[in-house]
Structure 1
Amino acid sequence: MTDDYELIDSGDGRKFERFGSVTLVRPCSQALWRPERSAAEWGRATASFDRIEGNNWHGRSNLPKEWTIQTAGIRFKLGGTDFGHLGIFPEQRAQWRWIHDTVGGAVAAGRRPKVLNLFAYSGGSTLAAALGGAEVCHLDASRGMVEWARENAAQNGLADHPIRWITDDAHKFMRREIRRGRAYDAIILDPPTFGRGAGGEMYKIERDLKETLGLVRDLLSAAPLFVLFSSHTPGLSPHVAENILGQLFPSAALESGEMLLEGRALACPSGIYCRAVWGQKGKKEDV
């Protein structure tokens, strides 16, 4: 299967990546080792971005306004943003494959899971679940990102798939869903370290994560499949995530680790994940 992403090199606090025909150099605080490729090779990147005295692109005019790549079996529209993002976090590729395969296993067993994706950005997890056969609810506080995700869905032949597209504050939405008696078989979330909701509500992970996960627990169906939590918050380790999810979901099997950027170079850690998994025979009373 074609994969248009790879990590070409990393080191000295930077990463050198390829997204289709476009190569980029951007910051990577975990890359404390030496680069393996020459400075001349790094210098041939299409463009670069740094955060020295603000957010700075170098060679941004060399970037296409938009371009499309395929990775982990999903097509994404990309474009450079003022903050150095592109509309994709490729360290999530292993999670997207896992979501697709886990949902697909449930579908093969005769279920059509209902999946909620919170803080959903450009929709990688939404599309992985939908391509696996799930009904999905996609929620993000940014209307622009929700529209970007809808474009990605169309790129993947999912324009008519049962996906609810919601622009809202995550806590407000979950409380409404609970009052309405709705439930989800799987819930995915990647909350920001700091962010604002659709109505300007402030989110701080160290203050709000316990409430977020409590609402997640209350929204799970009577036979849940999984909860997938990921984070890019500095200092939040896989063990910390296991402790948090283990207290909330004591009967679930826990799987955790670092998310990695991978390719030709040394793998570069970029965030963590933790999965609480019940499988096909999970029961709500065990949550």
Structure 2
Amino acid sequence: MDSMDEPAGYQLLDCGRGRRLEAFGRLVVDRPAPMANGSRHGSARWTDAIAYRAGRGWANAEGARPKLVASPVAIAGVTLEARLGSGGQVGLFPEHAVLADSLRRSVHARITRDGAKPALLNLFGHTGLLTLVAAQAGASVTHVDASRPAVQAARHNAERSGLADRPIRWIVDDAMAFVLREARRGRRYDGFIIDPPSYGHGARGNDDRGWLLDRDLGSLLSACQALATEVTCWILSAHSPGWDASRMAMAIQDATGARTPSEPVELAIHAQSGAVLALGSAVLHDPLRSERR
């Protein structure tokens, strides 16, 4: 790809007073961020950004519907599309980029150890950022999300990233239902990437129980453990109040009986202005990394 055609990257420009100012490629957006409860550090781009307001949707600085609604964005070594969506969403979670290097190291460690592509399962995979990072690193990935539009967007992102020919299975399904079927099939995975929402619906939208993080995460992790090997790696992240890294590490330990510690990661983005936006927590659990220490 010619350097002039390469997409621009992602940058948090500033945040504060319940808002965040971000550049996704050519899109500069001002959108809600309840966790950004401090003062803004200052950026001239606040005045000309495309802003999302509840009840009014997206509008440019003149208050009109924006002409630019999507842009490719380079992030964590792959290319995704940012697109103005409902509720102030843009089609990707940039805070997940902080997990990319650890994921690559875990994939490479298994390739070195086994001489084969490790099989990874990405549950609640959304539009595919970490799926593409893992595939680019050499893994065979099964990408699962209950949203058909999200899975379609992830497939398009694989094409944008030049990874359409990599071994990726694209699955529209409920996470728990898929894991239980894989157990009946006798499947095994070398790694799990799990980014559960606080609540959600099944793939068909008619699951009376739906998904509740507080109620269902332990059962899902235990079901995943039935698909694990002795050295399966785990990346578990959450953006919900009450789910910090220590609680997630305990949930993994309860499900796996693991004696090796998990590594805590704060999903925080540092802004160009000097502000810091905390967007959740994650834990990395990789027995092979413990062996190498």
TM-score, normalising length: structure 1: 0.90
Give the Cα separation in 2 of the matches to 1:280 and 1:236.
24
Contact 1:223-1:281 at 8 Å conserved across structures:
no
Q: Which amino acid in structure 2 is aligned with residue 66 of structure 1?
A: A
Match of 2:190 among 178, 185, 189: 185
Match of 1:269 among 270, 278, 284: 278
- Give the SS at the match of 1:239: helix
Q: How many residue pairs end up in the alignment?
A: 277
Q: Which amino acid in structure 2 is aligned with residue 269 of structure 1?
A: A
Q: Which amino acid in structure 2 is aligned with residue 166 of structure 1?
A: I
- Show the counterpart of 1:89: 93
Q: Which amino acid in structure 1 is aligned with residue 243 of structure 2?
A: L
Moved more, 104-113 or 183-192: 104-113
- Give the SS at the match of 1:269: strand
Give the Cα separation in 1 of the matches to 2:56 and 2:165.
38
Change in CA separation of 1:280 and 1:98 when aligned onto 2, cut-off 3 Å: closer
* CA root-mean-square deviation: 2.0
**1:6-155 aligned within 5 A:** 6-37=11-42, 41-45=45-49, 47-51=50-54, 54=55, 56-59=57-60, 61-109=65-113, 110-155=115-160
How far is the alpha carbon of 1:24 from its aligned partner?
A: 0.8
- Show the counterpart of 2:3: none
Contact 1:55-1:82 at 8 Å conserved across structures:
no
**1:245-264 aligned within 5 A:** 245-249=252-256, 250-264=258-272
Give the Cα separation in 2 of the matches to 1:2 and 1:78.
11
Flag structure 1 segments of 5+ consecutive residues without an equivalent: 283-287
Give the Cα separation in 2 of the matches to 1:102 and 1:55.
44
Give the Cα separation in 2 of the matches to 1:6 and 1:217.
36
How far is the alpha carbon of 1:23 from its aligned partner?
A: 1.0
Contact 2:59-2:66 at 8 Å conserved across structures:
no
Give the Cα separation in 2 of the matches to 1:240 and 1:19.
32
Moved more, 249-258 or 187-196: 249-258
Give the Cα separation in 2 of the matches to 1:78 and 1:3.
11
Change in CA separation of 1:259 and 1:140 when aligned onto 2, cut-off 3 Å: same
Contact 2:58-2:66 at 8 Å conserved across structures:
no
Residue 210 of structure 2 is aligned to residue 206 of structure 1: no
- Show the counterpart of 1:285: none
Contact 1:194-1:203 at 8 Å conserved across structures:
yes
How far is the alpha carbon of 1:63 from its aligned partner?
A: 4.9
Give the Cα separation in 2 of the matches to 1:144 and 1:154.
15
Q: Deviations over 1:25-45 (max 9, x none)?
A: 11112212111115x641121
Q: Which amino acid in structure 2 is aligned with residue 234 of structure 1?
A: P
Q: Deviations over 1:159-204 (max 9, x none)?
A: 1111111011111111110000001000011111111111222111
Q: Which amino acid in structure 2 is aligned with residue 243 of structure 1?
A: M
Q: Which amino acid in structure 2 is aligned with residue 142 of structure 1?
A: S
Contact 2:119-2:189 at 8 Å conserved across structures:
yes
Residue 288 of structure 2 is aligned to residue 279 of structure 1: yes
How far is the alpha carbon of 1:222 from its aligned partner?
A: 4.0
How far is the alpha carbon of 1:248 from its aligned partner?
A: 2.4
Give the Cα separation in 2 of the matches to 1:55 and 1:117.
34
How far is the alpha carbon of 1:255 from its aligned partner?
A: 0.8
Change in CA separation of 1:243 and 1:280 when aligned onto 2, cut-off 3 Å: closer
Contact 1:194-1:204 at 8 Å conserved across structures:
yes
Give the Cα separation in 2 of the matches to 1:76 and 1:221.
31
Give the Cα separation in 2 of the matches to 1:13 and 1:280.
38
- Give the SS at the match of 2:87: coil
Match of 1:218 among 208, 215, 226: 226
Give the Cα separation in 2 of the matches to 1:17 and 1:66.
14
**% identity of equivalent residues:** 33
Moved more, 210-219 or 133-142: 210-219
Contact 2:8-2:24 at 8 Å conserved across structures:
no
Moved more, 164-173 or 107-116: 107-116
